[in-house]
Structure 1
Amino acid sequence: MNLFFSYLYNPIPVCSDGTIKGVRKIENDKTKYMKTIKPRLIVMSFLQFAVWGAYLTSMGSYLSRIGLGEKIGIFYAMQGIVSIFMPAIMGVIADRYVRAERLLGISHFIAAVAMFLTGYTGLAAAQAGGVPEFGVMFAFYSVSVAFYMPTIALSNSVSYSALTKYGYDTVKDFPPIRTFGTIGFICAMLLVNFSKSEGISFQDSYMQFFVSAAFGLVLAIYAFTMPACPVSKNKGSLSFVDVFGLKAFTLFKERRMAIFFVFSMLLGVSLQITNGYGNAFISSFQGSADPVIAGSWGARNANALISLSQLSETLCILMIPFFLKKFGIKTVMLIAMFAWVLRFALFGAGNPGSGVWMFILSMIVYGVAFDFYNISGSLFVDKETEPEIRSSAQGLFMLMTNGFGATIGTLGAQAVVNHFVYRAEVPDWSAAWYIFAAYALVVAVTFALVFREKKHPSKV
């Protein structure tokens, strides 16, 4: 009876259309967040890759200038080494213990602090008139990339979760958001290229690490404002095989998939070579005996020139559906492989003076080389594997390419460049680039002879 009178004198508020006001408020809030979630994810994607773009293509130039050119490959190899295990470990933590958006913020904070200390090591050495101690700088840098590399997958998880939560189609709506990541990468590159401190461009100084740290700290704070991601309620124990997604290695039992993954690793060798040495190579023309080449815009703005590669990458994504449907995965992968041949060969033949057109063409080719290999390969793996191991298979693809492949590639490239450039009486960059081109050519020809598509390939 009390409940009856309570309801009689305090009725549930109802809107004119018959809906309960509380429900109307929830629906209005959801609509409001639906309108704002895409811009918020765009900002997150922009910052995510701006952190990386601030130093990825210019760090080699700085290390070369301070006398650590022979160590460039080790710095870039560390990104591949941590990619072998850190994303898997952080993925399990995000799935079961800590919400993904919080773990994203924590990881970026640690990475930013370590990157700041990397830059401070360079600053302290410069003020003392010496060279940074390799062990100290490399240790701070290693901690930074160890916590940064997993955030690429974590930021994707946050985006997928938010889009799904507010009723968006991830396949349709995520790619345009991800495009702003590449824009952020390019903007950071240009910022580092055109900013100067004491007459020295950021691309040739420790300041690039401070820029990266600043972007990272902003994103660390921003990540905590993102919508909450779900955490699995199943707290059962996981085996070593489950944690590292090793079930996907059963795909090696099928000859065709085994060949695909092996060649993914062999092609992954090419991934970080131009990132590591491209800027140092182009900047080296400032010491050319030809005053026209030495004073050319390209020689003085290597990062801006290289940014054309990322622009091409953004545009080439749009070509992938047509080429996959028209030619199939084998032809698309071969196009990527031969594009790597051109990428390296054009570097070897060009210069920032009269041969600058070769550099520009190499930057355009990069979009085909990277996208047709990375994105098409990922789509192929998605379509050719069973649902229960699909995520693990994607992890295996990344492990073979960005893990083993990139690590082997950067260490191998370091040996080649050290021999022909840093330890040679007369540096010969062209010889190094032609060796990389020859390697890519051998991989492409071998892949063409060995890999076989299904007679009736699945539509990717």
Structure 2
Amino acid sequence: MPLSIRLQLSVMMFLQYFIWGSWYVTMGAYLDVTQGFSAIEVGTAYGALSIAAMISPFFVGMVADRFFATERVMGVLHLVGGVLLYLAAQLDSFATFYPCLLAYTLCYTPTMALSNSLSFQQMADPGKQFPTVRVLGTFGWIASNLLVSQLGIDTQASIFHVGAAVSVALGIYSFFLPHTPPKAKGTQASFREILGLDALKLMKNVSFAVLVISSMLICIPLSFYYAQTSQFLVATGISNAAATLSLGQAMEALFLLLMPLFFVQLGVKKMMLFGMISWVIRYLLFAFGGPDEAIWMLYAGILLHGICYDFFFVTGQIYVDKRAPAHLRSSAQGMITFATYGLGMLIGTWFSGVVVEAFTADELRDWTAIWLVPAGASAVVFLVFLLLFKEKESKAVAAQVA
């Protein structure tokens, strides 16, 4: 891959995740502390991204795989998304804020799969080249968190203003990315193909099916981390929640760079198992840590993010790319997005709100009980994946990456 293209893709990833990190990390604290929304409303707001993720695979299967160049689709979506994110910052009732946020996520979520697909199509060896490009997305997330904390806007509507500005910038920049035409352009499209349903045939492979189902299930407890951690840190007296959480992204960046080595040494199955067990450990650290107990446990839980995210989600994305035929790669990436950020997190964001409400009395929350719920759920998924994912097939993919 030429250096010029690597730089273009790296900047794309930086801006892509800068946008998301600018508002997603502290939105819970903003909605809870500033707007006074209930825990269920906060969970529902986070679920907007999940609903969008369930719709985006159909959009990606139709647009990116068949009709329009990927970079142009990304450009339009980010420009429209910037406007919607700005409007969301002006709304102070849940009845108006939520529909606007949902409309924005319908624009943003497809770009997650599209940015991956665009990158993979420019790479000769995605297993070795993708982590070094994707790591810039992590740096973008960190940079946005640090900026939000530096500006002191963790609980203000300005988090959406920052995201809107960068969204417009990426929208313009996207039109200058490497031209990535649809692979199936000019062929007759069936209704099944337009909806991206052909990617479902990949589920006939046992390991692929287990990965998709496990990814969906692990995102149910995962949603607790995204929706509740910023509020948890504020409640425990830790200032600058966004900057504190960016420590996890710093570890994510480190492990992204080390991923090619881990592929060779561990293989796909062991990497994903390490990722899942790290979620269990993280939630236990949150449950029993705190300023009055052992605050180091909170920081240790945050620092585990590198293994939690990279070893499961990035490994899964690369596995999907290796397993899917060239003409179905965008649809396959969309399907994994549907399973994870879509169905799994939709259930999880709603469930996290219910759990928080259940363990809240007189405005005081029992955080120990709250975090034990996702810890137990993550442990169950770990056991399912351990028993059903085939080691033989995971080693074959690891050999391709190596």
Query: Contact conserved, 1:60 with 1:69, CA < 8 A, in 2?
Result: no
Is 1:395 matched up with 2:334? yes
Q: Which residue of 2 aligns with 1:175?
A: 131
Q: Which residue of 2 aligns with 1:264?
A: 215
Tell me the CA shift for residue 57 of structure 1: 0.8
Is 1:211 matched up with 2:162? yes
Q: Which of the pair has the greater relative contact order for Cα pairs under 8 Å at 6+ separation?
A: 2
Is 1:184 matched up with 2:140? yes
Q: Which residue of 2 aligns with 1:134?
A: 94
Query: Contact conserved, 1:325 with 1:459, CA < 8 A, in 2?
Result: no
Match of 1:139, as an amino acid?
P
Match of 1:430, as an amino acid?
T
2-side partners of 1:387 and 1:41: how far apart? 20
Number of aligned positions between the proteins: 396
Aligned-residue identity in percent: 34
For normalisation by structure 2, the TM-score amounts to 0.88
2-side partners of 1:233 and 1:435: how far apart? 45
Please, which runs of 5 or more residues in structure 2 have no aligned partner?
none
Q: Which structure: larger Rg? A: 1
Match of 2:167, as an amino acid?
G
Q: Which residue of 2 aligns with 1:305?
A: 244
Q: Identify which of 115, 125, 140 aligns with 1:155.
A: 115
| Mean Cα deviation higher: 81-90 or 336-345 | 81-90
Aligned pair in 2 of structure 1 residues 447, 64: CA closer, same or farther (>3 Å)?
Answer: same
Tell me the CA shift for residue 145 of structure 1: 1.0
Partner SS, residue 90 of structure 2: helix
Partner SS, residue 300 of structure 1: coil
Aligned pair in 2 of structure 1 residues 386, 40: CA closer, same or farther (>3 Å)?
Answer: closer
2-side partners of 1:455 and 1:145: how far apart? 35
Q: Identify which of 3, 6, 15 aligns with 1:47.
A: 15
2-side partners of 1:455 and 1:106: how far apart? 39
Match of 1:82, as an amino acid?
A
Q: Identify which of 360, 375, 379 aligns with 1:437.
A: 375
Match of 1:47, as an amino acid?
L
2-side partners of 1:432 and 1:85: how far apart? 30
Aligned pair in 2 of structure 1 residues 227, 391: CA closer, same or farther (>3 Å)?
Answer: closer
Q: Which residue of 2 aligns with 1:68?
A: 37
Partner SS, residue 166 of structure 2: helix
1-side partners of 2:177 and 2:257: how far apart? 29
Q: Which residue of 2 aligns with 1:331?
A: 270
Query: Contact conserved, 1:49 with 1:182, CA < 8 A, in 2?
Result: yes
1-side partners of 2:138 and 2:319: how far apart? 23
Tell me the CA shift for residue 111 of structure 1: 0.6
Match of 1:137, as an amino acid?
F
Q: Which residue of 2 aligns with 1:364?
A: 303
CA displacement, residues 82-138 of structure 1 (integer Å, 9 cap, x when unaligned): 1112243145324444332222221111111000000112xxxxxxxxxx2111111
Match of 2:68, as an amino acid?
V
Query: Contact conserved, 2:61 with 2:330, CA < 8 A, in 1?
Result: no
2-side partners of 1:77 and 1:141: how far apart? 10
Aligned pair in 2 of structure 1 residues 374, 227: CA closer, same or farther (>3 Å)?
Answer: closer
Q: Which residue of 2 aligns with 1:4?
A: none
| Mean Cα deviation higher: 94-103 or 73-82 | 94-103
Query: Contact conserved, 1:87 with 1:149, CA < 8 A, in 2?
Result: no
Query: Contact conserved, 1:99 with 1:229, CA < 8 A, in 2?
Result: yes
2-side partners of 1:240 and 1:424: how far apart? 53
2-side partners of 1:44 and 1:264: how far apart? 25
Tell me the CA shift for residue 324 of structure 1: 3.8
Aligned pair in 2 of structure 1 residues 42, 451: CA closer, same or farther (>3 Å)?
Answer: closer
1-side partners of 2:329 and 2:86: how far apart? 37
Tell me the CA shift for residue 282 of structure 1: 0.5
Q: Identify which of 273, 282, 288 aligns with 1:343.
A: 282
1-side partners of 2:64 and 2:56: how far apart? 12
1-side partners of 2:11 and 2:319: how far apart? 30
| Mean Cα deviation higher: 436-445 or 227-236 | 227-236
Query: Contact conserved, 1:268 with 1:402, CA < 8 A, in 2?
Result: yes
Please, which runs of 5 or more residues in structure 1 have no aligned partner?
1-33, 122-131, 196-200, 287-298
Aligned pair in 2 of structure 1 residues 437, 177: CA closer, same or farther (>3 Å)?
Answer: same
Partner SS, residue 225 of structure 1: coil
Q: Identify which of 109, 114, 117 aligns with 2:79.
A: 109
Query: Contact conserved, 1:91 with 1:154, CA < 8 A, in 2?
Result: no
Query: Contact conserved, 1:83 with 1:150, CA < 8 A, in 2?
Result: yes
Partner SS, residue 147 of structure 2: helix
Partner SS, residue 236 of structure 2: helix
Query: Contact conserved, 2:132 with 2:256, CA < 8 A, in 1?
Result: no
